[in-house]
Chains A and B, each alone.
Chain A
Amino acid sequence: MTLLLVLAGGAVGAPCRFLVDRLAGRLLGVTLPWGTLIVNVLGSLVLGLLAGLGGTVPGWVGTLLGTGFCGALTTYSTFSYETVRLAGDGPGGRLRALCNVAATLVAGLGAAALGWWLGGLR
């Protein structure tokens, strides 16, 4: 049953990341990999919220939404690949790679902490 919830969450989270990435590329351009940044920040916020809520959330919700959806919505492999790709793009690329790492870490870790704090309010 748990595995089914993970499969279901993953089957929704990954295409959501794909669609956000497409949309972000169209709306914001490709100076930075905005799509990956957005999904990583949003997913970290939601998972942080679930962690902050702790035992008040039913286990199946945590599995479906946390392990399945947020786990698949966010990605470390694409973030790393895009960073390496940017870094190999000359001096301007190296600066953009550094910006991508800094923005992802600051906003992503910040979102997780914010979610955690919000979840703990109730």
Chain B
Amino acid sequence: MTRKGIAPHGGPTAGTLPDRLPWDVVAAVALGGALGSAARYGVSVAWPTPSGQLPWATLVINLTGCALLGMLMAFVTARIAPHRLLRPFLGTGVLGGYTTFSTYAVETRGLLDTGRPLLAAGYVFGTLAGALIAVWLGGWLVARIGPKP
């Protein structure tokens, strides 16, 4: 039994992958990843986190990125035939490069290091809950006001 691929780049399920690498897709992901990373860097520079404080910049980056991905995925699934590079570029590339798990994980470790275990736990689970809600909300919003399938 095969299920539909669930990757934001619309990755096909196991066993159905073509052998040839789609280089245009890889290039779109690379370009998007560079742009998304630059945006993340810009926000983190504009909004530095003092040691032992809640990392607001990363939190806002991740939550806005999740809301946008929820919206994007609802948009492309509602479209009859979205451009084949739209999802890799915006989803896998820009939003994948913009949001980050590694910074979140290391910031959590940093909060423990400065003796803020409760804040660390709040950051971990607050981001998680917020991110899941943001994805869902973004999808719901587009389903309501966006293009109809």
Contact = CB atoms under 8 A, between A and B. Distances in A.
Given A11-B31, A78-B96, A81-B66, A72 B36 contact: yes
A10 B6 contact: no
A79 B131 CA distance: 9
B132 A83 contact: yes
Please report whether the interface of chain B is mostly helix, strand, loop or mixed according to DSSP.
Answer: helix
Contacts of A28: 14
B40 A81 contact: no
A21 to B, nearest CB: 6
A18 interface: yes
Interface string B99-117: 1111111101110010000
Given A25-B11, A113-B109, A10 B102 contact: no
Given A51-B106, A76-B101, A77-B66, A17 B92 contact: yes
Given A12-B33, A43-B100, A112-B102, 18 more contacts: A3-B41, A10-B33, A11-B31, A13-B37, A15-B26, A17-B29, A18-B26, A28-B14, A72-B36, A72-B100, A74-B102, A77-B66, A78-B99, A79-B101, A80-B131, A81-B135, A82-B7, A84-B135
Interface of B: 3, 5-9, 11-15, 17, 21, 25-26, 29-38, 40-41, 44, 62, 65-66, 68-70, 73, 88, 91-93, 95-106, 108-110, 113, 124, 127-128, 131-132, 134-136, 139
